[in-house]
């Protein structure tokens, strides 16, 4: 469904993702796992088109970028939005508008059902700014339900989210898989990966391993990923292979 071909993505020519190749299996869930600074968020942003690769490419097969729902890390989202919960959920109808590009006023049945699915129907008219972190994440998952996308990408979706909410939202991930959607999520919790993500990409700027979760998350490979990270300089050296880069 999504193929990465020798993908290198840099910030001022210092690669955060370095010569990454492989493909995300369709209709299943893949976790992206790796140490801090491993390039996981950079990879998601490149797939969704917000960052341009220096070299290599992302290819979508049988799907377009417009059929993609992307949830960035909560720290990147402005929660002071002057909108109600139901308005934010309803804005999921405008796929082409970007995450918060346009807020709709179309309080339709799908939006209401999505809110019920995440257990927040009593909060429909509340301002988004009055929600806790966990409630806000439920609303963002409801918005994804409304988007009805075939590809769903989540960046650390369970950070600052309590165990109950995490379990509820993981049920939605399981539901999406059953519905044949493709889910890609950056995660730091190995138990969550093992329980809900059949596939894993373990990365440390480069691919350490990619495939079946049980065979990827071995002690040896995890050690390899953390050793690679331990030897990182504050900034990655310039990419020697890609010449001028970006
Ligand atoms: N906007 C930016 N400008 C310059 N460097 C950046 C920028 N964003 C990320 N980086 C650097 O790129 C590298 C990869 O960052 P990225 O956020 O992709 O890693 P990550 O694996 O998602 O990390 P974490 O688990 O800590 O969220 C890091 O060294 C980071 O400092």
The answer to whether residue 102 scores a pLDDT higher than 50 is no
Structure tokens at 95: 């796929």
Question: Residue 171 contacts by C-beta under 8 Å, 6 or more apart in sequence?
Answer: none
Count the neighbouring beta carbons within 10 Å of the beta carbon of residue 36. 8
Q: Is residue 13 classed as helix, strand or coil in its secondary structure? A: coil
Give the per-residue pLDDT at 108: 80
Residues 115, 148, 101: CA angle, nearest 5 degrees? 80
Structure tokens at 172: 């939605």
Residues 222/197, Cβ–Cβ less than 8 Å: no
Global pTM reads 0.91
Give the per-residue pLDDT at 94: 66
Q: Is the CB of 37 under 6 A from ligand 1?
A: yes
Distance 90 CA to ligand 1 centre (A): 31
pLDDT digits (tens, 9 = 90+) for 132-191: 999 999 999 999 999 999 999 999 999 989 999 999 999 999 999 999 999 999 999 999
C-alpha distances (whole Å) from 162 to each of 126, 133, 236 are: 21, 9, 34
Average pLDDT on 45-54 reads: 96
Q: Is the CB of 41 under 6 A from ligand 1?
A: yes
Number of H helices, E strands in the chain: 8, 9
Residues in the chain: 246
Which ligand 1 atom lies nearest to the CA of residue 35? 25
Question: Residue 66 contacts by C-beta under 8 Å, 6 or more apart in sequence?
Answer: 95, 96
Q: Which of 10, 42, 153 to mutate to test ligand 1, by most ligand atoms within 8 A of the CB atom?
A: 42
Give the per-residue pLDDT at 238: 77
The answer to whether residue 227 scores a pLDDT higher than 50 is yes
Count the neighbouring beta carbons within 10 Å of the beta carbon of residue 166. 17
Question: In DSSP terms, which residues pair with 20 in a beta bridge?
Answer: 7
Count the neighbouring beta carbons within 10 Å of the beta carbon of residue 163. 9
Lowest mean pLDDT among 27-41, 119-133, 196-210, 228-242: 228-242
């Amino acid at each position: 469904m999504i193929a990465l071909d020798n993908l290198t993505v840099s910030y001022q020519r210092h690669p955060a993702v370095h010569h990454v190749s492989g493909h995300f299996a369709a209709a299943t869930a893949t976790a992206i796992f790796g140490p801090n600074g491993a390039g996981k968020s950079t990879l998601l942003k490149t797939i969704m088109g917000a960052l341009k690769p220096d070299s290599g490419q992302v290819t979508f097969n049988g799907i377009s970028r417009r059929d993609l729902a992307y949830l960035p890390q909560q720290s990147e989202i402005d929660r002071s939005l002057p909108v109600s919960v139901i308005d934010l959920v309803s804005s999921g109808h405008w796929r082409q508008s970007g995450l918060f590009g346009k807020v709709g006023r179309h309080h339709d049945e799908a939006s209401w059902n999505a809110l019920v699915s995440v257990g927040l129907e009593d909060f429909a008219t509340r301002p988004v700014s009055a929600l806790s972190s966990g409630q806000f994440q439920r609303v963002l998952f409801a918005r994804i339900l409304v988007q009805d996308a075939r590809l769903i990408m989540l960046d650390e979706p369970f950070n600052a989210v309590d165990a109950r909410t995490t379990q509820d939202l993981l049920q939605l991930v399981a539901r999406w898989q059953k519905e044949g959607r493709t889910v890609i999520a950056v995660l730091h919790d190995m138990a969550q990966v093992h329980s809900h993500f059949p596939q894993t990409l373990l990365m440390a700027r480069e691919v350490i391993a990619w495939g079946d979760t049980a065979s990827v998350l071995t002690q040896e490979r995890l050690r390899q990923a953390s050793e690679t990270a331990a030897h990182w300089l504050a900034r990655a050296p310039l990419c020697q292979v890609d010449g001028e880069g970006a």
